[in-house]
Amino acid sequence: MKKVIPNSLISCPNCGHQKLEVMPTDACQWFYECEACHEVLKPKPGDCCVYCSYGSVKCPPIQDGSSCCG
């Protein structure tokens, strides 16, 4: 098991706002509301969660080589 990075800098594609967030370690996060423009982000096609689509670091299950969403 490799060391998992728990934080990801999520970037809003609508307004460019960025925020460092602590990712859930055992679940996908399918929605994320930008605190600046209130756009609700959803994963891009082929990605399991918003961190894999818009974060600086992939989600913990993907980092660990596991399946993210089951």
**Is residue 68 over pLDDT 90?**
no
Q: pLDDT averaged over the chain?
A: 91
The reported pLDDT for the residue numbered 38 is 98
In Å, what is the CA distance from 30 to each residue of 1, 3, 42, 46?
25, 23, 6, 12
Under 8 Å between Cβ of 52 and 62: yes
Q: Where are the domains of the chain?
A: 7-63
- pTM for this model (two decimals): 0.87
The reported pLDDT for the residue numbered 1 is 53
The residues, any chain, with a CB within 8 Å of residue 60's CB and separated by 6 or more, are 4, 5, 6, 23, 24, 25, 26
Determine phi and psi for 3, rounding to 5 degrees: -70, 130
Confidence of residue 25 (pLDDT cuts 50, 70, 90): confident
Percent of the chain at pLDDT > 70 equals 93
